[in-house]
């Protein structure tokens, strides 16, 4: 028999058998152990990809929600400013209305007081006319009762005026 590389045929047979056994064992181990490990690693890889994708979409959604929230806050601020502005406007209008009413009331009170003053003046004038009429009739009565000269008449007029002024101020 011829030897390959000076190796015995038994050694070659054992080596071939060992190679076949290693190949079968590798195939069997690959099927039983490596394939499930690969599947598990692949599933884990897919899960990580999915989690990263979900995290990215969640982040985008959170950014959208934040933008919407900021828009709503800005809209609420604008609405609050609008409400405050309209409230200020109404307050100014009410202030003007109240001031105008107060001015009208003051004008009416002033007119009423002026009317009362005018009425009082008229009453005083009427009283003064009555006093003058009484004075004239008193003077005429005294002049008629006695015929007097100018000095006596002047003294009578002064005396009557003094009496009248004392009576007028006493009332």
The residue ranges of every structural domain in the chain are 9-170
For residues 90 and 144, what is the distance between their CA atoms, to the nearest angstrom? 79
Among 38-52, 54-68, 146-160, the range scoring the smallest mean pLDDT is 146-160
Residues in the chain: 171
Q: What is the pLDDT of residue 35?
A: 82
The secondary structure of 20-85 as a DSSP string is HHHHHHHHHHIIIIIHHHHHHHHHHHHHHHHHHHHHHHHHHHHHHHHHHHHHHHHHHHHHHHHHHH
* pTM, 2 dp: 0.39
Q: What is the pLDDT of residue 110?
A: 95
Per-residue pLDDT of 103-129, as tens digits, reads 999 999 999 999 999 999 989 988 888
Q: Is the pLDDT of residue 95 over 80?
A: yes
For residues 88 and 94, what is the distance between their CA atoms, to the nearest angstrom? 10
Q: Is the pLDDT of residue 30 over 90?
A: no
Per-residue pLDDT of 65-86, as tens digits, reads 999 999 999 999 999 999 999 9
Per-residue pLDDT of 155-168, as tens digits, reads 777 887 777 765 55
**At 63, is the pLDDT very low, low, confident or very high (cuts 50, 70, 90)?**
very high
């Amino acid at each position: 028999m011829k030897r390959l590389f000076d190796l015995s045929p038994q050694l070659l047979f054992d080596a071939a058998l060992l190679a076949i056994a290693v190949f079968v064992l590798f195939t069997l181990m690959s099927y039983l152990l490596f394939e499930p490990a690969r599947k598990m690693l692949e599933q884990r890889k897919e899960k990580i990809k999915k989690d990263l994708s979900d995290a990215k979409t969640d982040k985008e959604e959170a950014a959208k929600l934040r933008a919407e929230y900021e828009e709503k806050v800005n809209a609420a601020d604008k609405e609050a400013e609008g409400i405050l502005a309209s409230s200020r406007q109404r307050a100014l209008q009410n202030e003007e209305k109240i001031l105008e009413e107060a001015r009208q009331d003051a004008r009416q009170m002033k007119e009423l007081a002026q009317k009362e003053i005018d009425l009082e003046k008229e009453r005083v004038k009427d009283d003064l006319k009555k006093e003058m009429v009484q004075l004239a009739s008193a003077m005429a009565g005294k002049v008629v009762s006695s015929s007097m000269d100018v000095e006596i008449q002047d003294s009578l007029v002064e005396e009557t005026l003094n009496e009248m002024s004392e009576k007028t101020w006493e009332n």
